[in-house]
Structure 1
Amino acid sequence: MKSVLLALLLAALAPLPLAAAPCGNTGAGFEAWKQDFAAEARRAGVGPRGLQALAQAQYASRTIAADRNQKSFRYSLDKFMQVRGADTIVAQGRKRKARHPDFYAALERLYGVPAGVLIALHGMETAFGGFMGDSPVVSAITTLAYDCRRSEFFVPHALAALELVDRGSITGATLGARHGELGHTQFLPGNALAYGVDANGDGRVDFYDMSDALASTANFLRQKGWKPGRGYQPGQPNFAVIRQWNAAGVYQQAIAIMASRIDS
């Protein structure tokens, strides 16, 4: 009996496991959440620069508004392509491929991904780097990690963003899309950390450099199962890999159509 009581007493005195930072649905709890999340980030190995970027992050109301209103993905395919400027992307994409054939051919040799697919993604995501976002990446992604709607999905990306700050790939002031995507092809931070490639050989993975960004995109697709020389239209082997880039059906179909037109 004494041994049972002793065991219960020791269990009661044992430290409780550290809980994850609690999420919230308004900006009111964001500063308190950041303090809890900083402890989580330290345990994950985030260093001083990343922690400083977290401390300076601000609740991103525009990110929350965008997350609640992604209506373009509910359009028909024709409407989606019209709104996203598919004809312009194809026309400009063909010119880009003609101007830099060796660059795209080298990427296809290395990763097996045709030029049209990379160019279509580049055009769709940022109009070929014309607009890479106006939201601070760290603030946007930590806001989504805090927000209860999809906290579990975004927490790893928030930790990755802080790691990217530590590595010098971004800073706390780097601008990206409303959901924290960054660079020419709008990588989520976790994917940037996992699949980033230093294509220009300067010792740093920079998603705001076109060479690094497109090589990283090709690497992502190859690592997700891209089969060189196989088709990428609906029903063909590589269409499933396009799904890994974006979960919206109209987006996937639009990329496949534009890529085929660029490569034709």
Structure 2
Amino acid sequence: MKQFLTAVVLTLAAQSSNAAECITNKANFNSYKQTLAGTAQANGVGQRGLNALAGARLSGITWRFESNPRNQTGTLQSDPARFLSKRSGGSADAFITRTRSKITSNKNTFAALEKRFGVPSSLLATIWGLETSWGGYLGKTPIVDGAVTLSSYCRRHPKFQSHSIAALKMIDAGMVPAQKGGGPSGELGHMQFLAGNWLRFRVDGNGDGRTDPYNAVDALAKAANMLRQNGWRAGQPYGEGTANYNALKSWNDSGNYLRAIVFAAQRAG
């Protein structure tokens, strides 16, 4: 096994002169994979994870988004209701109504999470709806392809390489298969976590002894735990300018996204 593992690493990483720390041309993707293989092994990724990296393909949807100059500049402030409508494909009122319905149909789960972590049901249900339409669409991009493509791109590399290595560690540990579908940036499961965040804040929400981002209860529990670990204060307001609003930035630092969360959660609660 040791010889096989060494062969995988050599296949990807031996030609250091051809390796690249990050890339701006997708033709150099395999070169980036060579560099990442060495870094991944140094960070404890084993045979299964390295095999997944060897088989990773550049995600076209991820690359097109990152290389489009229109996506590399700031966005104008959007009305929260309009943002919700665009994101959900329906009206803001319809989204809020569905959020209330999800709270009702999962009332025991949400009540337990709110008691344990102090995060309101309406907030968790709103984020769940915005991320995956309450589990209705979990993504189709293989998670290793998305994570490695994003971390290869030089503009994103410093922030996201750790998440690509975390994705390989998850594959290595058998938490998820390499070809499991996710978001175009390697986001996982019901709440679309980056892999590094999942490993750091994961919680066994349903008590089955596992932590699975594709299980709704585990995913919601992890989201609540992440907010609490980033300063969430139970029973306190969470509008702009509050400590809890700052805690929400750990989830997503987009002002438009945060304002939409607050707008919907305050009306759904």
Partners of 2:82 and 2:112 in 1: CA distance: 34
Percent of paired sites with the same residue = 40
Q: Deviations over 1:31-84 (max 9, x none)?
A: 122122111111100111111111110011210122345599545224312212
Q: Deviations over 1:103-147 (max 9, x none)?
A: 111001110000011000000011001111111111111111111
Which residue number corresponds to residue 66 of structure 1?
Answer: 65
Which residue number corresponds to residue 26 of structure 1?
Answer: 25
Query: What residue identity is the alignment partner of 1:43?
Result: A
Q: For structure 2, which runs of at least 5 residues remain unmatched after alignment?
A: 1-18
Which residue number corresponds to residue 76 of structure 1?
Answer: 78
Partners of 2:61 and 2:264 in 1: CA distance: 30
Query: What residue identity is the alignment partner of 1:122?
Result: W
- Deviation of 1:101 after TM superposition, in Å, equals 1.6
| Range that drifts further, 220-229 or 33-42 | 33-42
CA contact (8 A) 1:195 1:219 kept: yes
CA contact (8 A) 1:73 1:248 kept: no
TM-score scaled by length of structure 2: 0.86
Partners of 2:189 and 2:150 in 1: CA distance: 19
| Number of residue pairs matched by the alignment | 244
Query: What residue identity is the alignment partner of 2:268?
Result: I
2:185 is paired with a residue of what secondary structure? coil
1:228 is paired with a residue of what secondary structure? coil
Q: Which of residues 195, 203, 211 in structure 2 aligns to 1:197?
A: 203
| Range that drifts further, 86-95 or 73-82 | 73-82
Q: Which of residues 85, 102, 117 in structure 1 aligns to 2:108?
A: 102
- Deviation of 1:24 after TM superposition, in Å, equals 1.0
Which residue number corresponds to residue 141 of structure 2?
Answer: 135
- Deviation of 1:180 after TM superposition, in Å, equals 1.2
Q: Which of residues 92, 115, 121 in structure 2 aligns to 1:115?
A: 121
| Range that drifts further, 242-251 or 122-131 | 242-251
Partners of 1:73 and 1:204 in 2: CA distance: 39
Which residue number corresponds to residue 236 of structure 2?
Answer: 230
Question: Residues 201 and 158 (structure 1 numbering): CA distance in 2 closer, same or farther, change over 3 Å?
Answer: same
CA contact (8 A) 2:170 2:176 kept: yes
Tell whether 2:153 aligns with 1:147.
yes
Which residue number corresponds to residue 12 of structure 1?
Answer: none
Q: Which of residues 182, 185, 194 in structure 2 aligns to 1:179?
A: 185
Q: For structure 1, which runs of at least 5 residues remain unmatched after alignment?
A: 1-19
Q: Deviations over 1:211-260 (max 9, x none)?
A: 11000100110111100111111122211111111111111011011111
| Range that drifts further, 73-82 or 175-184 | 73-82
Which residue number corresponds to residue 4 of structure 1?
Answer: none
Which residue number corresponds to residue 8 of structure 2?
Answer: none
User: CA RMSD, aligned part only?
Assistant: 1.7
CA contact (8 A) 2:227 2:247 kept: yes
Tell whether 2:191 aligns with 1:188.
no
- Deviation of 1:169 after TM superposition, in Å, equals 1.8
- Deviation of 1:21 after TM superposition, in Å, equals 4.5
TM-score scaled by length of structure 1: 0.88
Question: Residues 74 and 134 (structure 1 numbering): CA distance in 2 closer, same or farther, change over 3 Å?
Answer: farther
CA contact (8 A) 2:77 2:255 kept: no
Which residue number corresponds to residue 38 of structure 1?
Answer: 37
Which residue number corresponds to residue 51 of structure 2?
Answer: 52
